[in-house]
């Protein structure tokens, strides 16, 4: 039964990855926390396990989404390259920060983040394109901050990267596409860090590689890779306004459940 949930979750995460340039982690983490709680995993490590597993799934979600966006010529690869330098540094520090936070407190932090993103989506708050794309140093610094935050929240960074690139006058479709590309190094560096940090934890359930739970990773990866391409195609055809508001309502409920 849990595996069927992971398959459905992967399909949802894949569509979100392609459509909005997010890795789906903002949905994956809360559902995994709920699932791991029902499975009786230890409360002190299940949130870290959910975050680490979410980041590992984003590796698979990102690949097909990026391929579809690249095929349409929408990825700004020079921006991606210099942001990745910072992302690789920030993601490792983010994993260390998350490990230092207790499970219940980490859930509250993720809950607040979900509420903030829900409000941003519901009100369609977007930074105005008021500045140009920064230089190599600016992109590296931005990447390090986004990588650090993404590792803590278990996300691909799209909810941070897209607004940043839009603010820097990158057209929306290119911002979404480049954000999808940036999600791959975020996921790789963060997931590896969570694996290493949790490797010898005695409270981990069977079939875990550090803070990555393999059954959930497999189920989500199987469907997310297929549905990410569907989401990327929709991003170039549909107005996502209604979908964003529905997504915002879901995130609002998720955030409240983590805080109450």
Give residue-wise pLDDT tens across range 115-156. 888 888 778 777 777 778 899 999 999 999 999 999 998 887
Confidence of residue 20 (pLDDT cuts 50, 70, 90): low
DSSP assignment of 101-169: S-HHHHHHHHHHHHHHHHHHHHTT------SPPP-HHHHHHHHHHHHHHHHHHTS-SHHHHHHHHHHTT
What is the chain's mean pLDDT, rounded? 86
191-206: pLDDT as tens digits: 999 999 999 899 999 9
Report d(CA 109, CA 193) in Å as an integer.
20
- Neighbouring CB atoms inside 10 A of 211's CB total 29
Cα distance between residue 71 and residue 183, in whole Å: 17
Helical axes 214-235 vs 172-197, angle rounded to 10°: 170
Helix (H) or strand (E) holding 79: helix 77-100
Whole-model pTM: value is: 0.84
Domain parsing of the chain, residue ranges? 1-259
């Amino acid at each position: 039964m849990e595996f069927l949930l992971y398959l459905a979750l992967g399909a949802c995460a894949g569509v979100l990855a392609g459509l909005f340039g997010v890795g789906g982690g903002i949905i994956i983490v809360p559902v995994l926390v709920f699932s791991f709680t029902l499975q009786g995993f230890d409360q002190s490590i299940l949130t870290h396990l959910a975050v680490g597993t979410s980041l590992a799934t984003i590796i698979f979600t990102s690949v097909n989404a990026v391929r579809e966006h690249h095929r349409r010529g929408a990825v700004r690869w020079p921006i991606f390259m210099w942001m990745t330098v910072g992302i690789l540094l920030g993601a490792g520090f983010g994993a260390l920060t998350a490990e230092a936070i207790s499970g219940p407190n980490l859930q509250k932090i993720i809950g607040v983040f979900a509420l903030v993103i829900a409000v941003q989506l519901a009100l369609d708050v977007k930074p105005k394109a008021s500045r140009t794309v920064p230089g190599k140093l600016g992109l590296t610094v931005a990447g390090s901050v986004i990588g650090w935050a993404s590792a803590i929240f278990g996300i691909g960074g799209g909810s941070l990267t897209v607004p940043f690139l839009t603010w820097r006058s990158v057209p929306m479709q290119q911002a979404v596409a480049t954000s999808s590309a940036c999600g791959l190094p975020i996921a790789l560096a963060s997931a590896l860090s969570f694996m290493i940090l949790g490797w010898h934890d005695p409270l981990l359930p069977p079939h875990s590689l550090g803070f990555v739970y393999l059954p959930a990773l497999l189920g989500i990866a199987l469907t997310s890779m297929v549905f990410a391409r569907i989401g990327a195609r929709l991003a170039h055809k549909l107005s996502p306004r209604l979908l964003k508001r529905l997504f915002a309502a879901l995130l609002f409920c998720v955030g409240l459940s983590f805080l109450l």
